[in-house]
Amino acid sequence: MSNKTEKWFVSRQSYWGEESPYAVEIAYGGLDYANPDMLCTKYHGEGEEYTDPREAATTAVEIAQAWRKDCPDKDITVRVGFTHGFTMPFDEDTDEAAIAWGEKKYELLPKCPHCGEVMEERWTRALCDDEDACCSENCANMYFEEQDDDDQSDTDEIERNLDLE
């Protein structure tokens, strides 16, 4: 059993009704939740979805820096947000704040209990709690084998203790 996890979409935007309309946007939820004022892709990493928020933030800052170099007369910001499926400009932020956001968000992401990597997909046994989900089918198989071995060891110990009584 598998389901996908969080993702972020990086794009250049020209927001409507903003004093500083030019931004590199990191949209939570992926492409489906990016604002519609996206400019054509020009820089590496633009128009892509990321499952690692640190990578999304770093890429957004790199795009903003390259765009600023190409257009020094424009005030270009990096913005992080979630549209809730609507159209809404995100709040302005600094490059440093975007990088810090990526680091903090990464720490909060669910990690695989077997290998410790961020879970891009969630694999679990049918009828198991989501807290037992792993990052891949292979990790899930190995993790649940370890759990089964631990459960068997616990059962064996209980039986030994009962025999001693």
What confidence tens digit (pLDDT) does each residue in 89-120 have?
Answer: 899 889 999 999 999 999 998 888 888 888 77
| 18 plus 82 within the same structural domain | yes
| 104 plus 151 within the same structural domain | no
Nearest to 74 by CA among 110, 35, 103, 39: 39
| 10 plus 75 within the same structural domain | yes
| 22 plus 84 within the same structural domain | yes
Q: What average pLDDT score do residues 45-68 get?
A: 97
- Domain-located, residue 115: no
| 18 plus 83 within the same structural domain | yes
Question: Can you give the pTM of this predicted structure?
Answer: 0.76
C-alpha span between 5 and 18 (Å, rounded): 32
C-alpha span between 87 and 13 (Å, rounded): 12
Q: Give the range among 34-43, 93-102, 133-142 with minimum mean pLDDT.
A: 133-142
User: For the chain, how many residues are written?
Assistant: 165
C-alpha span between 90 and 18 (Å, rounded): 10
C-alpha span between 15 and 74 (Å, rounded): 13
- Domain-located, residue 58: yes
| 65 plus 93 within the same structural domain | yes
| 104 plus 127 within the same structural domain | no
- Domain-located, residue 151: yes
pLDDT score, position 13? 95
- Work out how many domains the chain is built from and give that number: 2
Q: Give the range among 1-5, 18-22, 116-120, 158-162 with minimum mean pLDDT.
A: 1-5
User: Last residue of a domain, which of 62, 86, 108?
Assistant: 108
| 78 plus 125 within the same structural domain | no
Residues 6+ apart with CB under 8 A from 36: 87
Q: Exposure of 64 by Cβ count < 10 A (0-12 exposed, 13-18 middle, 19+ buried)?
A: buried
Indicate whether 163 pLDDT > 70.
Answer: no
Indicate whether 79 pLDDT > 80.
Answer: yes
Mean pLDDT of the chain: 84
Indicate whether 82 pLDDT > 80.
Answer: yes
| Rounded alpha-carbon distances, angstroms, from residue 133 to 7, 8, 100, 105 | 18, 21, 27, 19
| 95 plus 136 within the same structural domain | no
Residue 129 structural domain: 121-164
- Domain-located, residue 103: yes
